[in-house]
Amino acid sequence: MRVLVVEDERRLAAALRDGLEAEGFAVDVAGDGEEGLWLARENPYDALVLDIMLPRLNGYELCATLRAERIWTPILMLTAKDGEWDEVDGLDIGADDYLTKPFSYAVLLARLRALLRRGARPRPAVLQAGALRLDPATRQVWHGDTEVELTAREHALLEYLMRRAGEVVGKLEIIEHVWDVNFDGDPNIVEVYVRRLRTKLGAATIETVRGAGYRLKDG
Ligand code: CA
């Protein structure tokens, strides 16, 4: 497995390289966004670990450029805890997962392995599930022919459920992806947002699977 780490903090980049190499990965490191983009275009990496704040080209621009060129290498983004950027923005431009700095190396490894198992998955420009359509780029949602207005968080939740349409998705998994891995509030916030989506999209759109989570209808 070959991984590209794009990170301008030299000590963190070196620690990631050493750690991943010790796990048997082949690792390349790029110290700025332009070099990262060049390497990611030229080499068939199995995954990218991508910092957001980078010299020359930031992680969001790098990610969006790759996706626009239909390069679907799985991307794990590293975000700063003070959140200069919203994680929701990252989902929109095609990253696959997030980790908030500072993170534990064990968690990074687990997330990376999960991405590698999934592999590169082409993302259609517009997501579709049943009567629902969602355009991640423009943040528009339609139910049949009717456009539906959603808040940023409602949109992120719906997008996550649509990407997993037909599958049961657990509350904690939703929180990790739509809120934050470090979210320490009440997990029932998910229920609140699911109710809002049902109100806007129809009660039958999202099914509650008791004790397991939620499932967005796929047909
Ligand atoms: Ca940085």
CATH 3.40.50.300 fits domain 127-216: no
Model confidence band, residue 149 (pLDDT cutoffs 50, 70, 90) = very high
Tokens at residue 199, please? 């109100």
**pLDDT tens-digit map of 86-137:** 555 566 667 888 888 888 999 999 999 999 988 877 766 688 899 999 987 6
Give the pLDDT mean for 190-219.
Answer: 93
Residue ranges covered by each domain of the chain? 2-118, 127-216
Specify the pTM.
0.59
pLDDT averaged over every residue in the chain: 88
d(C-alpha 110, C-alpha 213), whole Å: 22
Q: How far is the CA of 44 from the centre of ligand 1 (A)?
A: 24
Q: How far is the CA of 80 from the centre of ligand 1 (A)?
A: 8
Give the pLDDT mean for 4-30.
Answer: 95
Q: How far is the CA of 119 from the centre of ligand 1 (A)?
A: 25
- Print the SS3 string covering 3-17: EEEECCCHHHHHHHH
Q: How far is the CA of 98 from the centre of ligand 1 (A)?
A: 14
Superfamily of domain 2-118: Response regulator (3.40.50.2300)
Q: Hey, what's the torsion of the CAs at 211, 106, 17, 45, to 10 degrees?
A: -20
Q: How far is the CA of 51 from the centre of ligand 1 (A)?
A: 6
* Lowest-confidence segment of 135-139, 185-189, 193-197 by average pLDDT: 135-139
d(C-alpha 36, C-alpha 29), whole Å: 8
Q: How far is the CA of 76 from the centre of ligand 1 (A)?
A: 14
d(C-alpha 63, C-alpha 175), whole Å: 23
